Amino acid sequence: MTRYTLYYFNGRGRAEVCRMLFVLADVQFTDVRVEYSEWNRFMTKLSSPMLPVLETDTGLTMPQSMAIARFLAREFGLHGRNGQEMSRVDYICQCFYDILDCYMKMYHEKDRQLYNETSRRSSNKEDKLSQLRSNYETTCNRILPFLEKTLQVYNNGNQYFLGNQVLLCDVMAYATLENIVEDSPSLLNGYPKLRALMNRISDYPKIHSYLKDRTPSEF
């Protein structure tokens, strides 16, 4: 059996979808969490200058969160049954990733301004953070209506994106939407199917146990 090691910072961020795929598939993995203060030293040990990174005992080293997620989904049978289903899973995931990417850029800029002791508050920095939040909210308002309608294609949106099976796109939905719920829950007003999907994912037995025991994090 392949042994997996996933490297990422000590937070949910861009790696949470990958962690949740391991949990959903009931596949053991080593979850290596790197503190920001350790990153420069730790980076020299990896072949990639970015996180997350997936390593296996078969010699695979793979960066980029969505490349890792798609690989794991294919390995675990969570990417769809045929090319058409896989394509649907992929474009739904990409829509959610566009939202997640905007959120992460906004979060990290806010984090830098809050904790970088050598910096000073300036109108330029405030403007940058304001612009990133505006981009995030605009992206949510542009994409969420489409995803709400897309979810309703199967069973009027009362199960999962492709029917009765939890797939990569459903896990990606939860990993993205939980940030919205924590940061700006009003952005989900008017999207009852997406809210209900979050509840179904969080109530899914394997996922529920993971979320209950998960260490809280800021992002």
pLDDT tens sequence across 70-84: 999 999 999 999 999
For tokens 């949990």, the residue is: 23
Task: Let me know: does 161 contact 167? Beta carbons within 8 Å.
Answer: yes
The answer, yes or no, to whether residue 203 has pLDDT greater than 80, is yes
The answer, yes or no, to whether residue 140 has pLDDT greater than 60, is yes
Task: Let me know: does 9 contact 35? Beta carbons within 8 Å.
Answer: yes
Tell me if 197 is assigned to some domain: yes
Of 11-20, 93-102, 133-142, 209-218, the least confident: 209-218
Tell me if 215 is assigned to some domain: no
Structural tokens at position 93 = 């995931």
Identify the band that residue 117 occupies on the pLDDT scale cut at 50, 70 and 90. very low
Of these ranges, 10-14, 50-54, 93-97, the one predicted with the greatest mean pLDDT is 93-97
Q: Distance between CA 92 and CA 2 in Å, rounded?
A: 28
What percent of the chain clears pLDDT 90, i.e. is strictly above it? Answer: 77
The answer, yes or no, to whether residue 200 has pLDDT greater than 90, is yes
The answer, yes or no, to whether residue 65 has pLDDT greater than 60, is yes
What pLDDT does 166 receive?
97
**Same domain flag for 46 and 93:** no
**Same domain flag for 54 and 142:** no
Tell me if 94 is assigned to some domain: yes
Contacts of 23 (CB under 8 A, 6+ apart): 206, 207, 210
What pLDDT does 123 receive?
56
In which domain, by residue range, is 25 found?
Answer: 4-76
**Same domain flag for 58 and 98:** no
**Same domain flag for 41 and 14:** yes
Q: Distance between CA 9 and CA 65 in Å, rounded?
A: 12
DSSP 8-class letter at 15: T
**Same domain flag for 32 and 132:** no
Tell me if 133 is assigned to some domain: yes
Closest residue by Cα to residue 28 from 216, 218, 210: 210
